[in-house]
């Protein structure tokens, strides 16, 4: 028969946990993060839209030139 072994953690291997505390919610920090992220998204989206507008304008000018 095969003997089974139980693996136990020694005291040095056991996880240490912080005492149970209520999580802190910093509204000012979260708001600044949200606004900064929103500005980046608007900036990148705006650059994309300007690029698409320029592309459309140049294609339209080329089609008019051909006609």
Query: What tens-digit pLDDT sequence spans the chain (67 residues)?
Result: 566 666 555 555 555 666 678 877 777 888 899 999 999 999 999 999 999 999 999 999 999 999 9
pLDDT for 37 equals 96
Q: What is the dihedral of CA 14, 19, 25, 28, to 10 degrees?
A: -90
**What distance in Å separates the CA atoms of residue 14 and residue 50, rounded to the nearest whole number?**
57
Residue-level pLDDT at 3: 61
Sole residue written with tokens 């953690």: 9
Task: Copy the structure tokens of residue 56.
Answer: 């459309």
- Tell me which DSSP letter residue 19 carries: -
């Amino acid at each position: 028969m095969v003997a089974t072994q139980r693996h136990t953690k020694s005291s040095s291997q056991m996880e240490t946990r912080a005492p149970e505390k209520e999580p802190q919610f910093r509204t000012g920090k979260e708001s600044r993060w949200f606004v900064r992220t929103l500005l980046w998204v608007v900036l990148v989206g705006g650059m994309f839209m300007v690029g698409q507008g320029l592309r459309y304008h140049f294609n339209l000018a080329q089609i008019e030139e051909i006609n």
